[in-house]
Amino acid sequence: MYMTDSLSIKEKVKERYGKVALTGDSCCGPSVSFESEGRGGCCSGNNNTILQSSQSPVQVSELVGYGSKEMKSIPEDSILGAGCGTPTKFAFIKEGGTVVDLGSGAGIDVFLAANIVKGSGRVIGIDMTDEMLEKASKNAADNGYTNVEFRKGDIEERIPVDDNSVDVVISNCVINLTTDKVKTFREIHRILKPNRIGRMVISDLVTDKQIAEDTSSIDPDKWCSCIDGALTKENYIASIKKGGFENVEVLDEKIYTEGDQVDKRRISSLVVKTVKD
């Protein structure tokens, strides 16, 4: 993809998620369902019906797998219904650990991780959208979280975190929005602790039919909806490996949309795990 195009996509992504932060409007993905469980996903409803505007971000988040008890344990304003999975459930985060959440939005997974690492640990949320960073920081301040911080950064350029310093990288429905996935995974590899201590556990969307990389086939709105930027599962895993990781495990996989919903493309939600050697 040409630089100007990736820059203009990025501006669109910031605009879209800036609005999500300000208005609370969802979200990531089209109208679909987690068919394996008969549950709706982000911007979706059961049985392939469109998400009802009456569905709150909390209800949407329940549909992608968050428990009501865990959602009650974090600031309500951090829940946007913008994720496509629950990476914190799979990440084996430990008390005292250092966790980084990429594309942290209003902070949902940052606060869940912060409740686990407790006072001796630290959770850093990274986002490139100012409105999201403001909302997340306000959520932290209003709710007395002292073990979290939010930093501005473009995760595919440079993650503003030191080399070899992080126990767990999490991310929820974000990397599909980046224009250079390999660069993003290289950055993740750089910040993780070596010797199989540092690990990445992320949720993201993939598709059965990736669109061609020429700019004429890209629809910026569909990119922002986590569709046109989605890779095939095979290419997604290959990108992680090109980023420097050796073994990639798929921990969970759910159908997110059936083919008739988006240009006959099927979209799936994955949770993948890898460790840094």
The least CB distance from residue 125 to ligand SAM, in Å, is 9
Which value, to the nearest 10 degrees, does the dihedral of the CA atoms of residues 211, 212, 213, 218 take? -50
Does residue 133 come out as left (phi exceeding 0), alpha (psi in the -120 to 50 range) or beta? alpha
Residues near ligand SAM (CB under 6 A) are: 13, 17, 28, 80, 82-83, 103-105, 108, 126-129, 132, 154-156, 172-174, 177-178
3-state secondary structure string across 97-145: CEEEEECCCCCHHHHHHHHHHCCCCEEEEEECCHHHHHHHHHHHHHCCC
Question: Residues 6 or more apart from 143 whose CB is under 8 A from it?
Answer: 75, 111
Q: Which is nearer to ligand SAM, 16 or 122 (CB)?
A: 16
Q: Which is nearer to ligand SAM, 196 or 211 (CB)?
A: 211
Q: Which is nearer to ligand SAM, 85 or 260 (CB)?
A: 85
What CA–CA distance (Å, rounded) separates 109 from 125? Answer: 9
Q: Which is nearer to ligand SAM, 178 or 257 (CB)?
A: 178
Q: Are strands 148-152 and 39-40 parallel, antiparallel or unpaired?
A: unpaired
The least CB distance from residue 212 to ligand SAM, in Å, is 21
The least CB distance from residue 55 to ligand SAM, in Å, is 15
Question: Residues 6 or more apart from 140 whose CB is under 8 A from it?
Answer: 75, 107, 111, 148, 149, 150
The least CB distance from residue 45 to ligand SAM, in Å, is 18
The secondary structure of residue 51, as a DSSP letter, is P
Residue 69, helix vs strand vs coil: helix
The owner of tokens 């950064």 is 153
Q: Is the peptide bond before 27 cis (omega within 30 degrees of 0)?
A: yes
The least CB distance from residue 277 to ligand SAM, in Å, is 25
The least CB distance from residue 158 to ligand SAM, in Å, is 10
Q: Which is nearer to ligand SAM, 156 or 167 (CB)?
A: 156
The least CB distance from residue 80 to ligand SAM, in Å, is 5
Residue 68, helix vs strand vs coil: helix
Q: Which is nearer to ligand SAM, 126 or 211 (CB)?
A: 126
Alpha helices in the chain (DSSP H): 3-23, 57-64, 68-72, 87-90, 108-117, 130-142, 181-191, 220-224, 233-242
Q: Which is nearer to ligand SAM, 97 or 153 (CB)?
A: 153
